[in-house]
Chain A
Amino acid sequence: MKATVLVRPKHGILDPQGEAVESSLRQLGFAVDGARIGRVVDLDVEADDAASARAEVERMCEQLLANPLIESYEIELAETGA
């Protein structure tokens, strides 16, 4: 089963990378008001069903993929094959 984890800087956490990108976009003439930069982790998870896959990926997020002090995460699941 394919899972995608989106890791984002939490609201209110200073994101200097996002600020640098925002200012560059403005210099290019885009009307941007805020840019935040996170991380995408694509996973192939061995699991019997979506519920157990999600539970497994949540454990991965808690233990390694995100640091709960500064990052939030979202999990998206997609069936492989079809």
Chain B
Amino acid sequence: MSSPQPRIGVVTFPGSQDDRDALWALAALDAEPVPVWHADDDLPDLDAVVLPGGFSYGDYLRCGAIARFSPAMAAVAEFAAGGGLVLGICNGFQILCEAGLLPGVLRPNESLSFICRDVRIRVERSDTPFTTRCEPDEELVIPVKHGEGSWFVPDHDLAELEARGAVVLRYAEPCNGSVADVAGVVNPAGNVMGLMPHPEHAVDPLLGSSDGALILASLVDAARDRALAAA
């Protein structure tokens, strides 16, 4: 095969809900999805990792706070430190923030209501491994479904993060009370991103939008490049 399928792991924690959708979406976008169990100390040979949505470990204490200490997360942190691509979706984003791999924290929605609907999201950066298939300033329609999606950092941190281009995605309409309408952020090295919207639920037009495929296919492209470079 001229264009090999990159191997992308999806970590299942107790309480993960969207792991199977993520595996399905990655397969639909021509990646080889690889299930990873939260209790595994080591990751298999992978070109990227996805942390899926859900309520890992019941989201006890704070969302993502317990999952952060799972054996697989230690392996994911090591993978990220070595430059590996990591995408956290919803609960996965919350876990990455609690783990200190991404800045900020996700707090209860300003409205205190669980929000489950399609939202418009603006692409602020199309030069990350997670957004290369998007146009700058493009608006995407991707569903959110969360009770704790209000991203927060103190004012002085926000100015610094905006200056370094940490904000990749912003809500283009009022959503959950996030500081500066932030929907997704990337780390300084550019290999770890988290977002609250669910691209894996927007991969087939039958479900209302296939804009999520732009994000996941960008990840698949970047993972494939890495697989080829390593080969």
Question: A residues touching B (Cβ–Cβ < 8 Å)?
Answer: 13-14, 16-17, 20, 64-65, 67, 69-70
Chain A residue with the shortest CB-CB distance to B177:
A14
CB nearest to A20 among chain B residues: B112
The answer to whether A64 touches B153, judged by C-beta atoms less than 8 angstroms apart, is no
Quick check: A69 and B109 within 8 Å, CB to CB?
A: no
- Please give, as numbers and ranges, the residues of chain A lying within 8 Å of B61 by CB-CB distance: 64-65
Q: B110 to A16, Cβ gap below 8 A? A: yes
Whether B112 and A17, one on each chain, are in contact in the complex, defined by CB atoms closer than 8 angstroms, is: yes
B111-A16 in contact (CB<8A)? yes
Q: What would 17 more interface pairs be, CB under 8 Å, given A16-B108, A69-B105?
A: A13-B152, A14-B107, A16-B110, A17-B108, A17-B112, A20-B112, A64-B61, A64-B65, A65-B61, A67-B62, A67-B65, A67-B105, A69-B104, A69-B152, A69-B154, A70-B105, A70-B107
CB closest chain-B residue, reference A9? B107
Q: Which residues of B contact A (CB under 8 A)?
A: 61-62, 65, 69, 98, 104-105, 107-112, 152-154, 177
Q: Smallest Cβ distance from A51 to chain B, in angstroms? A: 26
Contacts of A69 in B (CB 8 A): 104-105, 152-154
15 A–B contacts from the bound complex (CB under 8 Å): A14-B107, A14-B110, A14-B177, A16-B108, A16-B111, A16-B112, A16-B177, A17-B112, A64-B65, A67-B65, A69-B105, A69-B152, A70-B105, A70-B107, A70-B152
CB distance from A43 to the nearest CB of B (A): 13
Q: Closest 5 interchain pairs by CB?
A: A16-B112, A69-B105, A67-B105, A70-B105, A16-B110
CA distance A14 to B177 in the complex (A): 10
A64-B61, A64-B65, A67-B62 known; A16 and B109 CB under 8 Å?
yes
Determine the distance from Cα of A13 to Cα of B177 in the docked complex, in whole angstroms: 12
Contacts of A13 in B (CB 8 A): 152
Closest to B152 in A: A70
CA distance A76 to B154 in the complex (A): 28
